[in-house]
């Protein structure tokens, strides 16, 4: 909504400060009390097999308290800039498509995790920090606990902030069989509103 006056210099400074905080540093992420995955390799392998992500593909998944997968969606990043606000909107759009919110609960019971497949090695980047900010904010707005942020590169996978990782699966590996679940996985979802949000941002 426009109120018909130009923003003051103080408002501009506030906007700049807000923009600067759209990236979480590793120390901030570690201090946020993100719950640890009991079996991160099983989670990573399951998401990799379902979505087969390539570079610049994000997979957001919702887990129940027993770490069973309840919903997941994947989409390809279209934006050139690492903007946590834009990432937050893309993640939130996908969460709204695949699972109802839990905002009526006093305490979140389901957890959202994010797997991001990218080029480079497993070391933290500003892009990772933007995804972390986006995941944390999207979880708050959807009534979920913010869970692990996992990178997938050609060297393997890494849970950032925990120091846990492995060589397989990797960005270039073939999908592995599902673990001990023994049931058909929920249908995966790709593209959709989040991809459109990212495409529109680039078009501007």
Phi, psi of 48 (to 5 degrees): -65, -40
Report the sign of the C-alpha dihedral through residues 172, 197, 80, 84, in that order.
negative
DSSP 133-160: HHHHHHHHHHT-EEEEEEEEETTEEEET
pLDDT at 204 over 60: no
Q: Are 175 and 169 in contact (CB under 8 A)?
A: yes
Q: Where residue 15 falls among pLDDT bands split at 50, 70, 90?
A: very low
Phi, psi of 113 (to 5 degrees): -120, 155
d(CA 166, CA 174): 15
Q: Are 147 and 112 in contact (CB under 8 A)?
A: yes
Q: What's the DSSP call for residue 162?
A: T
Q: Return the structure tokens found at 154.
A: 């050609």
**Long-range contact set of residues 170-174: C-beta below 8 Å, sequence gap at least 24:** 171/53, 171/54, 171/55, 171/117, 171/118, 173/48
Structure-model confidence comparison of residues 55 and 1, the more confident one:
55
pLDDT at 10 over 70: no
Beta-strand ranges (E) seen in the chain are 57-63, 69-76, 111-117, 145-153, 156-159, 164-166, 189-190
Domains of the chain: 22-179 (3.40.140.10)
Instruction: Tell me the pLDDT tens digit for each residue of 146-157.
Output: 999 999 999 999
d(CA 22, CA 27): 15
Please report the pLDDT score of residue 172 as a whole number.
83
d(CA 107, CA 158): 28
Q: Where residue 21 falls among pLDDT bands split at 50, 70, 90?
A: low
Please report the pLDDT score of residue 177 as a whole number.
63
70-74, 141-145, 172-176, 177-181 — which is least confidently predicted?
177-181
pLDDT at 20 over 50: yes
Q: Return the structure tokens found at 66.
A: 């027993």
Please report the pLDDT score of residue 78 as a whole number.
82
Instruction: Tell me the pLDDT tens digit for each residue of 37-88.
Output: 999 999 999 999 999 999 999 999 999 999 999 999 999 988 778 899 999 9
Tell me the whole-structure pTM to 2 decimals: 0.78
d(CA 80, CA 164): 29
d(CA 164, CA 162): 5
Please report the pLDDT score of residue 163 as a whole number.
83
Please report the pLDDT score of residue 93 as a whole number.
96
pLDDT at 14 over 80: no
Please report the pLDDT score of residue 65 as a whole number.
95
Rounded to the nearest integer, the mean pLDDT of the chain is 81
- Which residue has 């849970």 as its token pair? 159
């Amino acid at each position: 909504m426009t109120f018909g006056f130009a923003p003051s210099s103080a408002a501009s400074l506030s906007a700049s400060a807000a923009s600067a905080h759209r990236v979480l540093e590793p120390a901030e992420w570690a201090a946020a009390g993100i719950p640890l995955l009991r079996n991160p390799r099983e989670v990573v392998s399951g998401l990799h097999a379902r979505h087969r992500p390539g570079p610049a593909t994000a997979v957001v998944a919702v887990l129940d308290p027993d770490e069973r997968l309840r919903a997941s969606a994947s989409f390809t990043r279209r934006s050139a800039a690492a903007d946590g606000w834009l990432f937050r909107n893309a993640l939130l759009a996908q969460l709204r498509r695949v699972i109802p919110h839990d905002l009526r609960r006093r305490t979140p019971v389901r957890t959202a995790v994010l797997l991001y497949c990218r080029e480079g090695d497993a070391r933290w980047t500003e892009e990772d920090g933007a995804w972390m900010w986006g995941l944390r904010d999207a979880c708050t707005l959807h009534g979920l606990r913010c869970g692990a942020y996992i990178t997938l590169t050609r060297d393997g996978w890494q849970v950032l902030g925990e120091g846990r990782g492995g060589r397989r699966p990797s960005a270039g590996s073939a999908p592995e069989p599902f673990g001990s679940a023994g049931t058909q996985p929920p249908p995966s979802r790709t593209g959709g509103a989040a991809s459109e949000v990212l495409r529109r941002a680039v078009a501007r």
